[in-house]
Amino acid sequence: MLEANYHKILERIEAACVRARRKATEVTLIAVSKTHPPESVDALVRLGVRDFGENKVQEAKAKIPLCAGSIRWHGIGHLQTNKARDAVRLFSTIHSVDSLKLALELEKHAEAEARRVAILLETNVSGEGSKFGVAPEALNELALEVNGLPHLELQGLMTMAPFADDPEKARPYFRRLAGLKRELEQKLGASLPHLSMGMSGDFEVAIEEGATLVRIGTSLFGERKSGAFRRIGMDDS
- Would you list the DSSP string of 65-113? GG--S--EEEE-S---GGGHHHHHHH-SEEEEE--HHHHHHHHHHHHHT
What whole-number distance in Å separates Cα of residue 39 and Cα of residue 36?
8
Q: Does 34 bind ligand PLP (CB under 6 A)?
A: yes
In the complex with ligand PLP, the residue whose CB is nearer, 151 or 203, is: 203
Per CB under 6 A, the list member of 156, 157, 215, 229 interacting with ligand PLP is 215
Q: How many CB atoms lie within 10 A of CB 13?
A: 21
Q: Which of helix, strand or coil describes residue 137? A: helix
55 binds ligand PLP (CB under 6 A): yes
Under the criterion CB under 6 A, does residue 74 sit at the interface with ligand PLP?
A: no
Cβ closer to ligand PLP: 56 or 181?
56
What CA–CA distances, in Å, run from 67 to 2, 38, 64, 121, 211? 17, 6, 5, 27, 27
Scanning 17-25, 104-112, 216-224, 226-234 for contacts with ligand PLP by CB under 6 A, the matching segment is 216-224
Q: How far is the CB of 158 from ligand PLP (least distance, A)?
A: 8
**Region binding ligand PLP by CB under 6 A among candidate stretches 64-72, 148-156, 168-176, 193-201:** 193-201
Does 217 interact with ligand PLP (rule: CB under 6 A)? yes
One residue of 27, 32, 103, 118 binding ligand PLP per CB under 6 A: 32
What is the H or E stretch that residue 169 is in?
none
Residues 6+ apart with CB under 8 A from 186: none
For residue 148, the minimal CB distance to ligand PLP (Å) is 26
Residues that bind ligand PLP (CB under 6 A): 32, 34, 55, 76-77, 160, 199-201, 215-219
